[in-house]
Amino acid sequence: MERIKIKYLNNDIIRLKYIGGKSDWIDLRSAERVVMKAGEYKLIHLGVAMQLPEGYEAHIVPRSSTFKNYGIIQTNHLGVVDCKFCGTNDWWHMPVYAIKDTIIEMNDRICQFRIEKNQPAIDFEEVEELFAEDRGGFGSTGKK
């Protein structure tokens, strides 16, 4: 089991929990009350800073109910936090755009994360032909 050092913004933040067996994604919460009008952009403070293990990165995405419940979308669609973003004041945030007027309360679950191993080093080899089945181009799931 990997161990992650975590710092919380304050004692009002609900502590993170890994719930085995249900999902390996971990919910993150708003660390503040957020009031947004439609068309506004904001970095929502998530109330945590973490020291990820060397060779790992965190992927942050909205929860499946975030848009339905709050009318916000994550502007970078997938946030990536690498293991070098690990200082005491390297707070995690979620960049969002409001589609409608909304209020997000402190400790509302708005996004989730998981950690992944970094991609291995890759060497690209240029070739004239690729000898795999042609699936038919962009947007194709194969020939009928």
Give the model confidence (pLDDT) of 132-143 as tens digits. 777 666 665 655
Domain assignment present for residue 125? The answer is no
What is the residue range of 24's domain?
Answer: 5-117
Domain assignment present for residue 32? The answer is yes
Domain assignment present for residue 49? The answer is yes
User: Of residues 140 and 34, which shows the higher confidence score?
Assistant: 34
Closest CA to 25 of 54, 64, 75, 56: 64
Phi and psi at 79, nearest 5°, equal -90, 140
Domain count for the chain, please give it.
Answer: 1
pLDDT of residue 130: 86
Amino acid 10 reads N
* Active site residue ranges: 82
Domain assignment present for residue 86? The answer is yes
84-94 per-position pLDDT tens digit:
999 999 999 99
pLDDT of residue 45: 98
- Assign residue 87 the CATH number of its domain: 2.70.40.10
Domain assignment present for residue 57? The answer is yes
Domain assignment present for residue 91? The answer is yes
